Amino acid sequence: MNRRRFLQTSLLAAALTPTARALDPNPERSGTGFKVADGHNRTGEDLLIMGGRFDLKVSAKDNGGEFCLYDTLRRSKGGPALHRHHAQDEWFYVLRGEFIVQVGEDTLRLGPGDSAFAPRKIPHAFAMVSEGEGQMLVMFSPAGSMEDFFHQMAGFGKEIPKNQEIVMKQLWADHGMEIVGPPLKF
């Protein structure tokens, strides 16, 4: 095959790949729509973690593992230790309250309607910094084992553990993450 023909065939195959994926449904995807009511979790359980409630709204089981989405209602200032995901991107969208999000060397202040993106492998952390309740959507893509991680995190109790960067280091590592520093100071 000559070089030109090879390149044309390669480009055509690349262009058709998304169409082929759309025609080939993933058998692990849910075949129906669903509703998750305000204040409820997709699985029906309460996940009280690190000063807040984490309600799973879209599970990896709904979309073949492409992503999972949590609605987090926070009542305590603070957040997780500085960490990185080896295989997941993370997206934050603030509904209520004020948060700071560190992504790499940048610290971003977020209010209602603001969002931030933390690419995989880049250290990041967030903290609620306002008084009262804060609410933020958090999405992980791909979902990986994040749902299992949050189930296990609930075992530490609903408050932010002291010295979390030491106490929870192995749990984070077991789920493809690495704690690289303490929680954000504000």
Q: What is the pLDDT of residues 123-144, one digit of tens each?
A: 999 999 999 999 999 999 999 9
Residue 157: pLDDT over 80: no
pTM attached to this predicted model? 0.81
pLDDT-based confidence at residue 119 (cuts at 50, 70, 90): very high
Closest CA to 138 of 129, 130, 147: 147
CA distances from 76 to 25, 122, 132, 179 (A): 42, 25, 8, 21
Looking at residue 16, its pLDDT comes to 45
Q: Are 74 and 110 in contact (CB under 8 A)?
A: no
Residue 31: inside a domain: no
CATH of residue 174's domain is 2.60.120.10
Strands of 9-167, DSSP E: 48-49, 52-58, 68-74, 81-85, 89-96, 99-103, 106-110, 115-118, 124-128, 134-141
Residue 23: pLDDT over 80: no
Give per-residue pLDDT as tens, 44-78: 888 998 888 999 999 999 999 999 999 999 998 99
Other Cβ atoms less than 10 A from the Cβ of 138: the count is 18
Residue 29: pLDDT over 80: no
Residue 126: inside a domain: yes
Closest CA to 84 of 67, 68, 102: 102
Residue 30: inside a domain: no
Residue 24: pLDDT over 60: no
Structural domain boundaries enclosing 104: 48-183
Residue 53: inside a domain: yes
Looking at residue 168, its pLDDT comes to 80
Residue 17: pLDDT over 60: no
Residue 102: inside a domain: yes
Residue 61: inside a domain: yes
Residue 170: inside a domain: yes
Q: Are 81 and 183 in contact (CB under 8 A)?
A: yes
Residues 145 and 65: their CA atoms lie apart, in Å, by: 9
Residue 25: pLDDT over 70: no
Q: How many separate domains does the chain show?
A: 1
Which range of 11-15, 49-53, 133-137, 178-182 scores highest in mean pLDDT? It is: 133-137
pLDDT more than 90, % of the chain: 63
Residue 22: inside a domain: no
pLDDT-based confidence at residue 5 (cuts at 50, 70, 90): low
